[in-house]
Chains A and B, each alone.
Chain A
Amino acid sequence: MNKASRSLALLASGATVALGLAVAPVTSASASSIRYGGVLKYVSSWTTIPDNFNPLNPAGTGGTAGGTGSLLYEPLIYENVYTGKATDLLATGYKWSNGNKTLTLTTRTGVKWSDGQPFSAADVAFTFNYVKKYPALDVNGFWKSALASVTATGPNTVVFQFRSPQTSLFPQIVGQEIVPQHVWSKVSNPVTFANPHPVGTGPFLLESYSNTQVSYVKNPHYWMPGRPYLAGVTMQAVKSNATAQLLVMNGAASFTYDAITDPGRSFVAHNKAFNHYWWPVTNLNLLYLNNGAAPFNDAFFRKALAMTINVNAVAVRAYFGAIPAASGALRASVTPGQVHDWVPTSVSSLGWQYNPSGAVKLLESHGYKLSGGSLQAPDGKPLPTFNILVGAGWSDFISMAQTIGQELLPLGIHTTVEQEPYSTYASSANYGRYSMMISWGNNANVTPYYMYYYLFHPNNSAPIGKFASTNWERYTSPAVTSALNAYARTTNLAIQKSAMATIEKEVLQNVPVIPLTGRPNFLDYSTRSFVGWPGPSNPYNSGDPGDGFGGGGEMTYLNVHLK
């Protein structure tokens, strides 16, 4: 890792979103040691790269053209989901005022659209109002929540007015990719508009597109001094992950995004000098327990299950050690990058520990009885066999479910693994038709708030048999709800931290879900030709080459350079 490539990440550190202390990006890079040029090749398994360069595309599978939109369009601030750190892009600062009902953003000066027109705050206001005009574009639900108006009050100032304080919307607002008013005001149907001649502020320009390959060249007028290092970026679509992995291993491409099975052995070991993977955990895999039905409606019962499941064994069986178990502070349903800032040590030791015999005692203290290898409820009836719901053919979840099933046996609980296809699986979760289910946290973001909000907030809940968007386990509690609401209204970090600590305590005591393992992004890369990749020592992004959900693909393309 050399000095120049580190500078961006260093400068990007040090402030959390809610504090509003976003820092300036790279100012000067001593480029003497950096080799400019080279075309970075990204391979991914897409049948067809969608012919779509519309960054507002509502179904954006990672945005545009196979997730390469971040080379063309930029958000206001890049927020790293892994570290929680921010990097200013089209915004240079912001301020909350008026009881947190007004957000004032300062936009960057000297930025030009790739057609030569100057970028201004008006483009930002236009983008948000455009999304208001076309509700199909409002994938973050800005205008359905508290946002009231967005106005450019000066060439570099844009003001967001809220009906009520909703600071929790901040990551989504600053993550919105901005489009030029002078182009988009003429677009008649932006929902299906493919934007074949994209005009953006990003570090690259579209060079050529075919449905198997899309190429970009360096934007010579990019605003960030000295960047990008690369002369171009090419994304090639191959038909399978195995092919993509092969191309990276033989040097034909430099990186791919894929959950390689046992990456240490099947990827790195082929060439330890070049082949690396970085899988930063940005979400969790959870064992959802259906809190709406007996016996999972009893907190002590859920806790006993948690005490019986060895998550380390689960993680190893499912991911061969490449992905960590959700142990320690992660039991509170937070990601590793959030632990330091958001989980007080007084809290992280609460709750349960792995203790199968303790679990039996706990259940017995509530009238359960272990008899002949089966657990009997206080009324004397043995418990039925429970299904553990997983998606059909998802081998990692299936391994987890099998491991859990074995670990629950000493507790006298019998399970079977039930595989359901995607749509049935999703529907079972939404309508609460399951006992136990392995799934992911929804919309995890820079702070624990987001995963909590979707897991526990009544806004996302419904009784069993009714559609609950994300509160699949059906756990809500007044304490958690008020803590979530308190967080969402304030910009005071201390209040936010204490709100999160409240929830952490609640979930560690009540065990609404059982975190099993981390859920990472899957960056697999080769240092044969290019260096400057993100990694544990320099986590300038979360390893996602795409442009959606704080993936920050743009950061990779700004930092990677020739060896």
Chain B
Amino acid sequence: MDNNLVYALLAAIGLSFATGPLGSLIVWRRMAYFGDATSHAAILGVALSIGFGLPIFLGILGVALVMAFAVTNLNNRGHSIDSTLGVLAYFALSLGLVAISLTDQPGVELHDFLFGDVMAVTAQDLLIIWGGAISILAGLIWRWVPLLISTLNADLAVASGINPKREQLVLTLALAVVVAVSIKVVGALLIGAMLLIPAAAARGLSRTPEGMAALAIVIGVIASFGGLFSAVTWDTPAGPGIVVAAAILFFLGGLSKR
């Protein structure tokens, strides 16, 4: 195996360790839209990074943080926010695309930011991806039980002396970090898929929340192998290939339940 493929595999596997448990929480809390809004904002982060000469990772992290807190705040106000979230998501995406075109930088491959370019992952990228994934995993494990009870019922959490709003902060931070580290692997448009699909595939096959989160990691890892195998064998794009493989596992899981 050549180095690129090993790096690509390691990147996708690292990401799976974060997206499995985080995606499970997002599925339980019906927050799929939050993932989309935050990840679409990544493109704006790319534009700002290029414009101000910052590392791409930092620009995306900054914008994703702002977006993640904005959508969380909107949600806490308690109105129906579906349409507002949708507006924010597409606004951030389109503003990012417009801004990138204005930076007038030759050689900016928009395609790579939208769909990922995992075959071009460098050792430094790997450090960022694994560093981010391990931080997310550690944060979620640390707050796991309070997050579970807050997710199940906010009032029950309060009665047990847990502050659901504070627990949500961990989730918001984790969402921003996962967007920042996964842009290189699956791109801004497919981060939401990496959060949703492995968790959804694990749902029908699990009996406990922990089981579902762990199985979502396993499914993410298998999908990484599948997508990258397809990439080297048939020269397909790696990010979308990983998502396709995860979706196939989702359908297979659904069939096995029949």
User: Does A associate with B in a complex?
Assistant: no
B interface residues with partner A (beta carbon < 8 Å): none
A interface residues with partner B (beta carbon < 8 Å): none
